[in-house]
Amino acid sequence: MKKLIAPVLIFMFFAVNGQQKNYSNVDEKVAAMGAMETENLATITATIIQPFAGKKEKARAIFYWITHNISINPRATKSNDQKKTKPEDVIQLRNTTPLGYSLLFQEMCSQADIRCLSVDGYTKNSSDEIDNKADEFNHSWNVVQLGQSADAWYYVDAAKGSGYLDKRMTKFTPMFGSNYFFTEAEVFNLDHFPDNEAWRLGSGPKSLSEFYAMPVVYPYANSIGLYKTNPKSGKIKTKPSGTVKFSFPHLSEIPVEKLEIVTGEGNRAGMPQEIKFTDDGAVISFQYQFKREDEYPVTFLANGNPILCYNVVSEE
């Protein structure tokens, strides 16, 4: 059995979830409330939702507060220690695993009279995991219901929205990921696969094997609304003399001004090389020739941020 580790990342098809909107008004009000370090869970929840009438704004307020006041616990995450994941423990310690984030968000939503469920599932963090599926779930997130219909469920991932751990899982770096709140379904499904398929909103990979066969997706891909990859497989077989065509449909209005490729990982990673590409506002397109004959991971960066990682086998 593989060792279970919670997901941490190193460095929108308009479906069930609806479009992203500007929540700056909510975020600014919650930011001004501070950490409330001496308050209990019930008081914190009541305080941060009090200024808002709508359930969507209340859910956003909870998401913003959690992602700015709770940290990923590197040691517990690496060892899959879930002993301190109860909401009361998380509030007291101010750090937890992704499961703890999910349970805290669920409880705070419950106190705000918002229907919310915790979902266990899978994500990928490195090229080693491509075509190497986990035996047990390694991440947790939430689904929120704001209405009675099947179209009223929304995705939330407070753990990924708070920041990331380094590759050795020893250091947490806070980095707010706004788009992990009510993420478009197809965007979210690129790097999440639920343990219970009933909680896969919208379309996405149909099996865990299919999910693990796909490339690794990094947080900035979520920011630009990347919802499909071509090639779909995370393992690319080609020849040094051949050319591989890539196209990445995306939804976000954030313009991609620069695209780069990095071959190798860690100490063996090369310098980023700029790629000529086109972006019509809906699809990033380019082609690349992997001249070096070998097997190696390649990472694509948009605007200097990692978005996707493939494994390439280039041989005659």
pLDDT in tens, 288-315: 999 999 999 999 999 999 999 999 999 9
pLDDT in tens, 243-268: 999 999 999 778 899 999 999 987 88
Please state, in angstroms and as integers, the Cα–Cα distance from residue 50 to each residue in 7, 21, 58, following that order: 32, 21, 8
Give the tokens for residue 23. Answer: 């929540």
Q: Domains of the chain by range and CATH?
A: 24-214 (3.10.620), 235-314 (2.60.40.10)
Residues 303 and 295 sit within 8 Å (Cβ to Cβ): no
How many separate helices (H) and strands (E) can be counted in the chain? Answer: 10, 18
The DSSP result for 68-113, as a single string, is HH-EE-HHHHHHT--TT-SHHHHHHHSEE-HHHHHHHHHHHHHHTT
Between 66-70, 80-84, 159-163, 206-210, the lowest mean confidence (pLDDT) is in: 80-84
pLDDT in tens, 145-154: 997 766 789 9
Q: Mean pLDDT throughout 196-214?
A: 93
pLDDT in tens, 135-177: 888 899 999 999 776 678 999 999 999 998 877 788 999 999 9
Q: Which of the four pLDDT bands, split at 50, 70 and 90, describes residue 81?
A: confident
Q: Mean pLDDT throughout 187-200?
A: 94
Q: Mean pLDDT throughout 222-230?
A: 94
As a whole number of angstroms, the distance between CA 119 and CA 52 comes to 26
SS3 state of residue 27: helix
Q: Which of the four pLDDT bands, split at 50, 70 and 90, describes residue 236?
A: very high
Residues 273 and 291 sit within 8 Å (Cβ to Cβ): no
